[in-house]
């Protein structure tokens, strides 16, 4: 998977632009190589091995529910949306959560991203508008 880091960094930047937050994307291929033990990702590729979508995730522990997976990003290039790629990617994370006996899968969705909200609701997800993100940047 390390061979895919350059392509993934490009997609991470594309996703940050889609989220209207390009300035927040500071990750690099070099950083990913140094921190690869923390990186979990599934990708969707074309027949020519071009990565057109990805989902990143990690194990977490929530005091109220216990062992869980946090899905950090799910992104599919615009030209490839509507073909079930996002469904296949999130299904892989759900399968991983079940196989590793997690109690919950958690992720965020931007309040303005109505297509994603509808997609997640169609999967049976409940969307909580009570909590807000808190980031303390340490670098």
DSSP 58-111: EEEEETTTEEEEEEEEEEE-GGGTTSSHHHHHHHHHHHHHHHTT-SEEEE---T
Q: Pull the structure tokens for residue 5.
A: 């880091």
Residue 127 domain-assigned?
no
Domain for residue 132, yes or no?
no
**Residues assigned a catalytic role:** 120
Domain carrying residue 18: 2-122
On whether residue 139 sits in a domain, the answer given is no
As given in the structure block, the two tokens for residue 127 are: 């969307």
Q: Which tens digit of pLDDT belongs to each residue from 5-56?
A: 999 999 999 999 999 999 999 999 999 999 999 999 999 999 999 999 999 9
pTM of the model: 0.92
Domain count, the chain: 1
> 99: domain CATH number?
3.40.630.30
Chain position carrying tokens 């969307």: 127
129 located within any domain:
no
118/22 Cα distance (integer angstroms) = 24
Instruction: Tell me which long-range contacts 14-17 makes (C-beta under 8 A, separation of at least 24).
Output: 14/75, 14/77, 15/73, 15/75
Q: Is 83 part of a structural domain of the chain?
A: yes
Flag whether 136 is in a domain: no
β-strand pairing of 51-62 with 66-76: antiparallel
- 137 in any annotated domain: no
Q: What is the pLDDT of residues 42-64, one digit of tens each?
A: 999 999 999 999 999 999 999 99
């Amino acid at each position: 998977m390390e061979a895919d880091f350059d392509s993934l960094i490009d997609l991470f930047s594309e996703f940050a632009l889609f989220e209207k937050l390009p300035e927040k994307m500071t990750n690099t291929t070099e950083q990913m190589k140094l921190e690869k033990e923390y990186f979990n990702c599934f990708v969707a590729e074309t027949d020519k091995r071009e990565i057109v979508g990805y989902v990143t995730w990690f194990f977490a522990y929530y005091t109220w529910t216990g062992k869980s997976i946090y899905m950090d990003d799910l992104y599919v290039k615009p030209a490839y949306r509507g073909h079930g790629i996002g469904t296949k990617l999130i299904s892989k994370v759900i399968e991983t959560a079940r196989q590793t006996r997690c109690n919950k899968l958690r992720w965020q969705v931007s309040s303005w991203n109505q297509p994603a909200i509808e997609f997640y609701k169609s999967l049976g997800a409940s969307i909580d508008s009570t909590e807000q993100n808190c980031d303390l940047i340490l670098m």
